[in-house]
Amino acid sequence: MTDSLLRRAQHALGPLQRRDVQAALEMCAADPVASVLPAMHLETARASGSIPRGMWAVRRRAGLQRDLAGLVWNGANLSAVLPRTVDDPTGDALRSDVASACVSRLSRPAAMVGEADMTLDLWGRVAPWWGPARELRPRQASMAIDAAPHAQPAPRLDGDLELRDLRTATDDDYEILLPACVHMFIGEVGYDPMRHGRAAYEDRLHYLVRAGRAFVQLGSIRGRRPEVVFKAEVGVLGGGVAQIQGVWTHPDLRGRGLARAGMAELVRQVRAQLAPTVSLYVNDFNAPALAVYRDVGFREVGTFATVMF
């Protein structure tokens, strides 16, 4: 990064313009699973005619021209699309310039996430200014399915579980859905969102429920009143890809096949209602989750990395 500060940058970072939206979407379409987060915001911009503040264009300096060379989305998460070119086959010049511009022009996000090689490269360049990271997850399997899921056996009820069908959540489910989401968040991210950023967290969950992007399965355990036994959300939706987040199975019911059956039904419903391709990413050391997703029919299509602050 020091070298990039000592030479004239070949690329500049500036707010995306409306005239760039279609070209930016075409750039995302080269790898729709990896680029789903910026694609979602670009589709919103195309529909509304308004560019969100977090969407930045990377422009290549070439005489008087400023050709679009990449994208950076900087919201709660930072996610970049930085294609290699014939003139810069390693991507080093582009990444170096983007890292310098991020430090000088952008606020540090809550996390950096995306294709592993690029994300870890950018992180290494901005770490002296944005570090230290709270947690680094360098290898996460990026998985996708674009066909009918593999059939799964029904979950074991064992005489103590009365199970309902998986469905989209409604506002009436919110009070029992929230604790399940918080439990998942603490286990996955490492802190309680109800103590740090509660309003934003609840606003996000309300939005997903009302958008038809939260899915819930209720059940009665040992005759108790119905509670969430399996749930997941489509956290990101763009470019024909629905990215699943927040997958959770009730701790008392794990090992009964709820996750496999639930994921298969989730894929069926998401593909029918939201997008033809369903994706997710999972830590490479999470063997039980990887086994579930592979059994359902997900295939590995790349590697993600996440840097949490």
Domain that holds residue 83: 2-132
- In a domain, residue 31? The reply is yes
Q: Would 74 be classed as within a structural domain?
A: yes
189 and 295 share one domain: yes
Q: How many domains does the chain have?
A: 2
Q: Residue 224 domain-assigned? A: yes
> Does one domain contain both 272 and 150?
yes
Tell whether 140 is covered by a domain.
no
125 and 151 belong to one structural domain: no
Summarised one tens digit per residue, pLDDT across range 15-24 is 999 999 999 9
Share of the chain above pLDDT 70, in %: 96
137, part of any domain: no
* Residue ending a domain, choose from 74, 102, 132: 132
| Residue 58 placed within a domain | yes
If asked whether residues 125 and 164 sit together in one domain, one would say no
Same-domain pairing of 50 and 112 = yes
Q: Give the Å distances, CA to CA, from 296 to 154, 246, 290, 292.
A: 13, 17, 10, 6
The average confidence (pLDDT) of the chain is 95
Strand pairing of 241-249 and 277-283? parallel
**Distant-in-sequence contacts of 219-225, Cβ < 8 A, 24+ apart:** 219/161, 219/162, 219/163, 219/164, 219/250, 219/253, 220/161, 220/162, 221/160, 221/161, 221/250, 221/252, 221/253, 222/160, 222/161
Q: Tell me, yes or no, whether 181 and 127 share the same domain.
A: no
Domain with residue 177: its CATH number is: 3.40.630.30
Give the pLDDT band (50/70/90) at residue 89. Answer: confident
Whole-number pLDDT of residue 64: 56
| For residue 237, pLDDT beyond 90 | yes
In a domain, 54, yes or no: yes
Co-location of 111 and 163 in the same domain: no
Residue with tokens 């074991």: 156
* Predicted TM-score of the model (pTM): 0.94
110 and 187 belong to one structural domain: no
Does the pLDDT of residue 66 top 80, yes or no? no
CATH number of residue 68's parent domain? 3.40.630
Q: Are residues 54 and 153 located together in one domain of the fold? A: no
pLDDT computed for residue 33 by the predictor: 98
Q: What is the pLDDT of residue 147?
A: 98
pLDDT above 80 for 6 = no
Comparing 79-83, 89-93, 153-157, 170-174, which segment has the lowest mean pLDDT?
Answer: 89-93
**Confidence at residue 90, expressed as pLDDT on a 0 to 100 scale:** 85
pLDDT digits (tens, 9 = 90+) for 105-134: 999 999 999 999 999 999 999 999 999 999
The pLDDT assigned to 4 comes to 45
- Are residues 149 and 117 part of one domain? no
**Cα distances (Å, whole numbers) of residue 177 to 123, 207, 232, 305:** 34, 13, 10, 28
- Indicate if the pLDDT at residue 70 is higher than 60: yes
**Mean pLDDT in residue range 157-177:** 97
pLDDT of res. 241:
98
Task: State the maximum Cα–Cα separation within the chain, in Å, rounded to a whole number.
Answer: 74
- pLDDT, tens digit, for every residue of 250-262? 999 999 999 999 9
User: Do 161 and 295 share a structural domain?
Assistant: yes
- Residue 124, domain member (yes or no): yes
pLDDT surpasses 50 at 3 = no
pLDDT at 7 over 70: no
- Last residue of one domain, picked from the residues 132, 160, 183: 132
Rg (alpha carbons) of the chain, rounded to whole number: 21
Same domain, yes or no, for 172 and 233? yes
